[in-house]
Amino acid sequence: MDVVGGILICGSPDTEIEGFVCNSNNVRCGNCFVAIKGKHYDGNSFIKEAEKKGAVAVLSDSKTSLETELLSGSSISLLLTDNVYNALGKAAKFHRENYIKNVIGVTGSVGKTTVKELIYSILSEKLDIFKTEGNKNNELGLPLTILSGNMSKNVVIELGISNFNEMEKLSGIAQPDVSVITNIGNMHIENFGTRENTAREKLKILTGMKENGTLVFNGDEKLLTDFPELPDNRVTVSEKNNECDIFVFNVRTSSAGTFFDVKINIKTEDQKTFRKKNDFKKYMDIFVPIIGNHGAFDAAFALAVGEIYGCSEEQIRRGLKKYKPCGDRQNIEYINGRCYIFDSYNAGPESFDAALNVLKITAEEKGIKYKAVLAGSMLELGNISKEEHIKLGKKIANNGADLLITVGEEGMYIAEGAVSAGMNKEKVSVFLNESDMEKIFEKLKNNLKKGAILLIKGSRGMHLERIREYITEDF
């Protein structure tokens, strides 16, 4: 109570809490249930359910709800705050400062979740460490990750933003020892306006970074390299400039994954900075089970963090090799004679390019002739949306797609681009509403013969993952 502020409606201020959760379905004995009010639900209405499942405390900013629970005979500790998000952030910041030794924070327009998972895979070879699960990377998810009840002293955490001034708050809570910025793309440009603004907001991860912390960032991105206030401790990752601290080269990719070589500038003894000298070492034939050149670049960021924390070459190789994608990211499945690439976690111009490359490589190596794309709108692109969707359509056509089904209002621009690039209009279908999943599946059912390959890609708001419900063994 002293940490988060507020009024204890009932219960004991000495209640011991093991983890915070905001979904009553996930409550375990000893948890604190955080009653969040959303657009379509009110967590306060689930307080009784949380108590039955073993919650020992409730954090809420709804006085009426808590008084109702008190009158109905609740036995758990009920804490009323002015703002539940702010209270949760304060609790997470306190926990981070007092119980967590190392925080690696990862942000970027594209690839941050993959890089986060790769870092975890490597560091778990040496350290007791936990990580952000799923997409818990915002003002709610990040504190919940820190307050998850995990007793590890180390965490790799994802920081996701879509609006101005969000990063300062997240960084202030996480206080990274190592900050990683993968790239600056067009994701959320509708809100930020320009890539320059996006870069400035991403770089605010430095505002909460620990003194003498290390920044690992994309050395091929001028919006980052030219920033005037970079910390002294910094590591650049590049696939173009062999003078950068981590240089990726000789990338070879296949349907099984990607091999690459890397040149690494030798660390100083404190393992926090890299020497800008001619001293270097090389690791050859490193493997990561990600299809496409982007897999090698993502792996290089994780490798850099591994080097900072003193991981051996063997630990780095083993960590990268055991990586597994989470969510619907580049998941390739073979179902009843057809190949599916489920990659619908999110989408932007850069990630769609990578997905089309995966489609091309997989089809070529497996000898698959018939290629299909189920493409959802790329959201939050603002005034460049039409242009980027037309470009995407052209890329899909030039990739040799035999069938294109688009979902969402921007899909008509994808279709326009594909037809303008020479794709047969009869092989292009547009569905404006993502709720038409049954009709979309019927289109697939009538065209996707056995032996075909289908890429499923779109922004999270398109909910293309629901196509899984229709893809069965007897299709």
The CA angle 256-257-262, to the nearest 5 degrees, is 150
> How do residues 50-59 score in pLDDT, each as one tens digit?
999 999 999 9
What confidence tens digit (pLDDT) does each residue in 402-456 have?
A: 999 999 999 999 999 999 999 999 999 999 988 888 899 999 989 998 999 999 9
pLDDT number for residue 270: 52
Distance CA 208, CA 231 (A): 12
Query: Which top CATH class is 88-321?
Result: alpha beta
Task: Give the pTM.
Answer: 0.90
pLDDT in tens, 215-267: 999 999 999 999 988 998 999 999 999 989 999 999 999 989 999 999 998 65
pLDDT in tens, 264-313: 986 544 545 555 555 788 999 999 999 999 999 999 999 999 999 999 99
List pLDDT tens digits, range 117-160.
999 999 999 999 999 987 788 999 999 999 998 889 999 999 99
Q: Residue 172 has which token pair?
A: 């202030």
Tell me how far CA of residue 228 lies from CA of 90, 105, 109, 232, in angstroms.
Answer: 31, 21, 21, 11
Q: pLDDT tens digit string along 18-69? A: 999 999 999 999 999 999 987 788 888 898 899 999 999 999 998 776 666 6
What is the strand order of the sheet 453-457 is part of? 331-335, 338-342, 453-457, 371-376, 403-407, 428-431
CATH superfamily, domain at 7-82: MurE/MurF, N-terminal domain (3.40.1390.10)
CATH number of 331-469, picked from 3.40.190.10, 3.30.2290.10, 3.40.605.10, 3.90.190.20? 3.90.190.20
Domain boundary assignment for the chain? 7-82, 88-321, 331-469
Comparing 131 with 188, which gets the higher pLDDT? 131
